[in-house]
């Protein structure tokens, strides 16, 4: 898809302002989010925010609205509050609230899950929500993203250990949020994936249709249930649309059009020692 023109970006800014109730004004270099403090969002930022979506599509407007609102909220909160509130966020590739390639700090092998930085306490309507933050929001506050990610990454592994203990204690192997990390984010912890593989004795099948709930024992779940849950969940809260296959180092989405029942049978074989991970 060709890069959006300046005219398309101007229209996009106006549409986001009207349809998403964002206070902004077009300026020569981009758009300005009215303050105080005023926040300048350059045209190249808006192109990045689209993450490949058409500028005149609803999906494109939603992505840009999420980007500019996160810029606004981070500026309002200030450096100290954002730094204290920083959290790791994991999202499926192509997810509606994914902020595109510039946001990604780590990619899990398998091509299904990517991790980046967010912050809790910045959304004025929901202080408990972890909001993915565009890199320019952190750069404008003088926050070193690489150093912040290194610090938070170690904490995610500890959350993964705690999540593994919860999964073991649950009869259905349910995966639920731990602390401020939702179920999708927790899958970014190698400690969790490795524990699931050890417990199963090999390759693990999982279904995580929403960001707050998943199942790691697919023999106890109707094969059609998880995809139906994903389809019925609001887009922003959706997890993976199809089941997953996990090893300690990889997380892979099963191909579209596959047979969920076959994955369940494979999962059962793995638990009986019929499949091992290399």
For residues 52-79, average pLDDT? 94
Bridge-based pairing of strands 30-33 and 24-27 is antiparallel
Query: What is residue 259's predicted lDDT score, i.e. its pLDDT?
Result: 54
pLDDT tens, position by position, 209-221: 999 999 999 888 8
Check whether 274 has a pLDDT greater than 50: no
275 pLDDT above the threshold of 50: no
Residue 277 pLDDT level (bands cut at 50, 70, 90): very low
Percent of the chain with pLDDT over 90: 80
Helices 6-19 and 58-77, axial angle in degrees (round to 10):
70
For 122-175, write each residue's pLDDT tens digit.
999 999 999 999 999 999 999 999 999 999 999 999 999 999 999 999 998 999
Q: What is the pLDDT of residues 13-64, one digit of tens each?
A: 999 999 999 999 989 899 999 888 999 999 999 999 998 899 999 999 999 9
pLDDT value of residue 262: 55
What number is the average pLDDT over the span 224-234? 90
- Is 273's pLDDT higher than 50? no
Res 6 pLDDT > 60: yes
d(CA 138, CA 67) in angstroms, rounded, equals 12
Mean pLDDT taken over the chain: 90
């Amino acid at each position: 898809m060709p890069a959006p023109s300046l005219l398309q970006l101007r229209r996009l800014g106006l549409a986001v302002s009207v349809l998403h109730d964002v206070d902004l004004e077009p300026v020569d270099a981009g758009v300005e989010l009215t303050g105080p403090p005023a926040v300048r969002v350059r045209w190249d930022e808006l192109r990045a925010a689209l993450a490949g979506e058409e500028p005149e599509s609803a999906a494109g407007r939603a992505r840009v609205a999420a980007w500019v609102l996160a810029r606004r909220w981070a500026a309002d909160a200030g450096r100290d509050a954002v730094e204290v509130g920083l959290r790791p966020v994991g999202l499926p590739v192509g997810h509606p609230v994914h902020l595109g390639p510039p946001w990604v700090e780590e990619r899990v092998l398998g091509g299904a899950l990517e991790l980046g930085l967010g912050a809790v306490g910045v959304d004025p309507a929901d202080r408990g929500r972890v909001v993915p933050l565009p890199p320019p929001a952190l750069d404008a506050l003088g926050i070193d993203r690489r150093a912040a990610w290194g610090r938070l990454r170690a904490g995610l592994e500890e959350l993964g250990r705690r999540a593994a203990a919860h999964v073991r204690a649950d009869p259905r192997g349910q995966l639920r949020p731990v602390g401020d990390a939702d179920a999708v984010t927790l899958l970014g912890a190698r400690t969790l994936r490795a524990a699931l593989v050890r417990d199963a004795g090999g390759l693990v099948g999982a279904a995580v249709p929403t960001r707050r709930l998943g199942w790691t024992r697919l023999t106890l779940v109707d094969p059609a249930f998880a995809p139906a849950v994903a389809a019925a969940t609001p887009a922003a809260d959706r997890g993976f649309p199809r089941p997953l296959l996990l090893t300690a180092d990889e997380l892979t989405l099963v191909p579209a059009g596959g047979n969920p029942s076959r994955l369940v049978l494979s999962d059962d074989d793995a638990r009986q020692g019929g499949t091992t991970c290399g």
